[in-house]
């Protein structure tokens, strides 16, 4: 927070950009999400990613909604013709023409996120099979972009690269990689208005193995395993039982949807063996920052339910198991089952697609994703001391009486190096620290300097830490206002957290001198190894969040991780009783602070006092992602900002990185 009620505002700008019906060809993605987090990261293939928006060839039987587009994605290193076909579902809120309409309906239809969910079908299937269309619609209501594709050789995609080999797992990985690179490319910017992070993959049946194979090479935050096979040889046994001449014929005939028609296709032996010989135990090596959700039906006649338990054990500590009672492999019930939940039916079978979708949606809700990131980042690994873990939150509030205190280290960077632990800590106002915690800060954490980002008058009124040297580096031109004046100045945040990024731009512009002083303290050695520092504002959210973004961005941490780190404040400030008491005491004034039309505005936007309070205290992932987008659009890069705005030299930046990376 930049003050006791400091709350940002955002100009009324459109969230959507026009889509041009033409081909976009751009170089492969320049920066991957979580760069350097995998020892075996897939080396990027030299090539270009193209996106073509096309007419829906099946509009009569499978019409698209107004926020869906039929697309072809092509990677020049993998594809020879049209590439892979897909349907992109954009956030439902984009159906509203104005920002005001979107904000009024925000509680029902979330504003667009920078997150992409990829849906993968199973064997002999296609992009509109089973639960995929319903799940895409549900996720779009949560603000996600959702892409469901046809793998090569199926649906509307081009043929397999080598028909004699067929659809191997490696070919599937190439198709998924095309989506991954597209999401971070300028082609995606042209199509949806900004780059996306491939945040989640939801896969069914055989597609689960393709998903896990991809995740061994590229980290993805969420993997949803719907009825995936744990014993790969089980498919070969099933094939041999059904087609005794499989070995002699070197393949099997089957029927699949191809270009809108059910056609007989050939599954060559190498395709079957690529799945059947997969070593499932390798998937335990998937990046430790990945969370896996497994969803199975109790009536699955294809995959034994033991697979669910096996995957739960494999990903212990980062796994959620969901069981859909009564559902078969395709998430329909058995014929003539009793419909106890009064769900839709199809040909006499209960359809459990909405049940599955609800489980996925719940997991991907913002609150749960913040708690997941918090859970996976409670500790820090020490590269020079394998097996040793340190707490990210070394001063629990019960012990220290400091809220939101955490280590900024441990995150991986584009160079493959890690942000050094134990150098920079961020927190809320630490003035109420206990004597024991203060001693711990000095003796164990080796904190030798505190940077106070608050206005001098604000700090004097609220309290200043004693016992450790404090350097005042007031942000926002040292402006100090009463809570009412602050709220009046930033009243747009009362309406929505959508208004945060523009306020952060203003704070950043008004804080150049103080920001420069902070980073010069690192350059001159005031802060470094053995000389740790704290930086804080009132609750460690706004001004502190901006400075943390600059630190991590300069060091090469990706935007997705920076935004997740920022969102940790949602959890960290829950113990900040002072600010909650202040807001409770001021809540009756919220409508008056908004001016003569305050109560009218509140009715128009359906604002309650609780919702306004939540908006004031929020630190949502998406706000930081938008702020970073705007920062890079203005300055080009973090290094350019440090040189042009702060006046640092390239050797200064090199020294900062040397001090703060390991």
The whole-number pLDDT of residue 31 equals 39
Query: What does the angle CA 523 – CA 526 – CA 532 come to, to the nearest 5 degrees?
Result: 110
Kindly state the tokens that stand for 486.
């602050």
Q: How far apart are CA 415 and CA 640, in angstroms?
A: 18
Nearest to 425 by CA among 260, 568, 282, 309: 568
Burial class (CB in 10 A: 0-12, 13-18, 19+), 603: exposed
Cα-only R_g, the chain: 26
The whole-number pLDDT of residue 482 equals 47
Domains of the chain: 50-228+277-364 (3.40.50.1820), 372-660 (3.90.190.10)
Q: Collapse the DSSP code of 526 into the 3-class scheme (helix H, G, I; strand E, B; otherwise coil) and give the result.
A: coil
The whole-number pLDDT of residue 422 equals 97
DSSP H helical segments within 129-283, as ranges? 132-141, 169-183, 186-192, 206-215, 233-242, 246-249, 269-276
Answer with the residue of higher pLDDT: 138 or 381: 138
Q: How far apart are CA 356 and CA 296, in angstroms?
A: 9
Query: Any residues with CB less than 8 A from the CB of 561 and at least 6 apart, and which?
Result: 34, 411, 412, 552
Residue 519 belongs to what H/E stretch? helix 512-523
502 has a pLDDT exceeding 80: yes
The whole-number pLDDT of residue 609 equals 84
pLDDT classification of 47: cutoffs 50, 70, 90: low
Q: How far apart are CA 410 and CA 250, in angstroms?
A: 50
Kindly state the tokens that stand for 649.
């030299």
The whole-number pLDDT of residue 361 equals 99
Do 298 and 326 contact (CB within 8 A), yes or no? Answer: yes
DSSP H helical segments within 58-203, as ranges? 99-104, 132-141, 169-183, 186-192
Residue listed under structure tokens 């128009």 = 604
Kindly state the tokens that stand for 53.
């928006």
The whole-number pLDDT of residue 55 equals 97
Mean pLDDT value of segment 109-126: 98
The whole-number pLDDT of residue 489 equals 56
Instruction: Give 269-323 pLDDT, tens digit per residue.
Output: 999 999 999 999 999 999 999 999 999 999 999 999 999 999 999 999 999 999 9
Q: How far apart are CA 174 and CA 153, in angstroms?
A: 13
Q: How far apart are CA 473 and CA 450, in angstroms?
A: 10
Do 262 and 256 contact (CB within 8 A), yes or no? Answer: yes
Q: How far apart are CA 86 and CA 133, in angstroms?
A: 12
| 197-204 vs 222-226, strand pairing mode | parallel
Could you say which DSSP state residue 475 is in?
S
Q: How far apart are CA 304 and CA 234, in angstroms?
A: 10
255 has a pLDDT exceeding 60: yes
Say which range, 16-30, 370-384, 421-435, 508-522, has the weakest mean pLDDT: 16-30
Kindly state the tokens that stand for 228.
């995936």
**Ramachandran class of 174: left when φ > 0, alpha when ψ lies in -120 to 50, beta otherwise:** alpha
Do 204 and 352 contact (CB within 8 A), yes or no? Answer: no
Do 203 and 39 contact (CB within 8 A), yes or no? Answer: no
536 has a pLDDT exceeding 90: yes
Q: How far apart are CA 349 and CA 511, in angstroms?
A: 63
The whole-number pLDDT of residue 238 equals 86
CA dihedral 61→67→72→74, nearest 10 degrees, is -160
Query: Average pLDDT, whole number, for the chain?
Result: 90
Q: How far apart are CA 319 and CA 507, in angstroms?
A: 40
pLDDT classification of 7: cutoffs 50, 70, 90: very low
How many CA atoms does the CB half-sphere of 106 hold within 13 Å?
19
Mean pLDDT value of segment 258-262: 96
The whole-number pLDDT of residue 612 equals 84
């Amino acid at each position: 927070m930049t003050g006791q009620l400091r709350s940002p505002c955002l100009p009324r700008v459109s969230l959507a950009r026009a889509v041009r019906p033409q081909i976009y060809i751009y170089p492969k993605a320049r920066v991957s999400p979580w760069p350097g987090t995998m020892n075996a990261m897939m080396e990027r293939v030299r090539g270009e990613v193209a996106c073509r928006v096309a007419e829906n060839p099946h509009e009569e039987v499978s019409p698209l909604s107004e926020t869906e587009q039929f697309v072809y994605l092509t990677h020049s290193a993998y594809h020879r013709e049209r590439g892979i076909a897909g349907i992109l579902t954009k956030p439902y809120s984009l159906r509203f023409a104005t920002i005001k309409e979107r904000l009024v309906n925000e509680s029902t239809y979330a504003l667009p996120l920078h997150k992409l969910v990829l849906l993968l079908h199973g064997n002999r299937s296609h992009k509109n099979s089973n639960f995929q269309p319903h799940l895409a619609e549900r996720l779009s209501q949560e603000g996600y972009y959702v892409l469901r594709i046809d793998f090569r050789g199926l649906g509307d995609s081009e043929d397999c690269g080598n028909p004699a080999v067929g659809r191997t797992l490696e070919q599937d990985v190439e198709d998924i990689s095309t989506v991954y690179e597209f999401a971070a490319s300028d082609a995606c910017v042209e199509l949806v208005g900004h780059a996306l992070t491939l945040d989640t993959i939801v896969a069914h049946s055989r597609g689960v193995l393709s998903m896990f194979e991809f995740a061994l090479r590229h980290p993805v935050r969420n993997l949803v395993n719907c009825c995936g096979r744990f014993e790969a040889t089980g498919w070969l046994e099933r094939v041999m039982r059904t087609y005794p001449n499989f070995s002699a014929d070197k393949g099997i005939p089957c029927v699949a949807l191809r270009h809108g028609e059910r056609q007989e296709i050939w599954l060559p032996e190498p395709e079957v063996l690529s799945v059947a010989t997969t070593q499932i135990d390798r998937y335990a090596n998937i990046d430790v920052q990945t969370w896996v959700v497994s969803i199975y039906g109790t009536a699955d006649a294809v995959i034994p339910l033991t697979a669910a338990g096996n995957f739960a054990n494999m990903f212990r500590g980062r796994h959620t198991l969901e069981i859909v009672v009564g559902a078969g492999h395709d998430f329909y019930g058995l014929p003539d089952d009793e419909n106890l939940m009064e769900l839709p039916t199809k040909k006499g079978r209960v359809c459990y697609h909405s049940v599955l979708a609800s489980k996925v949606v719940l997991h991907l809700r913002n609150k749960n994703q913040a708690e997941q990131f918090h859970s996976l980042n409670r500790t820090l690994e020490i590269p020079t001391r394998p097996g040793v873990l340190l707490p990210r939150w070394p001063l629990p509030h019960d012990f220290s009486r400091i809220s939101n205190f955490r280590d900024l280290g441990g995150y991986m960077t584009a160079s493959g190096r890690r942000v050094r632990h134990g150098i920079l800590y961020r927190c809320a106002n630490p003035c109420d620290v206990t004597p024991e915690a203060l001693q711990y800060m000095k003796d164990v954490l080796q904190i030798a300097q505190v940077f106070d980002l608050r206005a001098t008058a604000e700090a004097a009124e609220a309290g200043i830490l004693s016992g450790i040297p404090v350097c005042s580096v007031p942000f926002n031109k040292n402006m100090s206002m009463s809570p009412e004046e602050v709220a009046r100045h930033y009243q747009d945040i009362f309406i929505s957290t959508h208004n945060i990024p523009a306020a952060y731009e203003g704070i950043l512009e008004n804080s150049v001198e103080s920001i420069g002083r902070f980073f010069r303290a690192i350059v001159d050695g005031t802060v470094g190894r053995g000389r740790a520092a704290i930086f804080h504002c009132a609750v460690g959210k706004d001004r502190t969040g901006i400075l943390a973004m600059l630190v991590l961005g300069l060091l090469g941490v990706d935007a997705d991780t920076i935004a997740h780190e920022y969102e940790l404040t949602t959890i960290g400030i829950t113990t900040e009783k002072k600010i909650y008491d202040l807001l409770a005491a001021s809540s009756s004034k919220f409508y008056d602070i908004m001016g003569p039309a305050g109560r009218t505005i509140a009715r128009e936007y359906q604002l309650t006092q609780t919702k306004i309070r939540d908006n004031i205290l929020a630190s949502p992932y998406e706000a930081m992602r938008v702020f970073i987008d705007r920062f890079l659009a203005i300055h080009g890069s973090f290094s350019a900002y440090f040189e042009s705005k702060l006046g640092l030299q390239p050797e200064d930046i090199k020294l900062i990185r040397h001090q703060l990376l390991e």
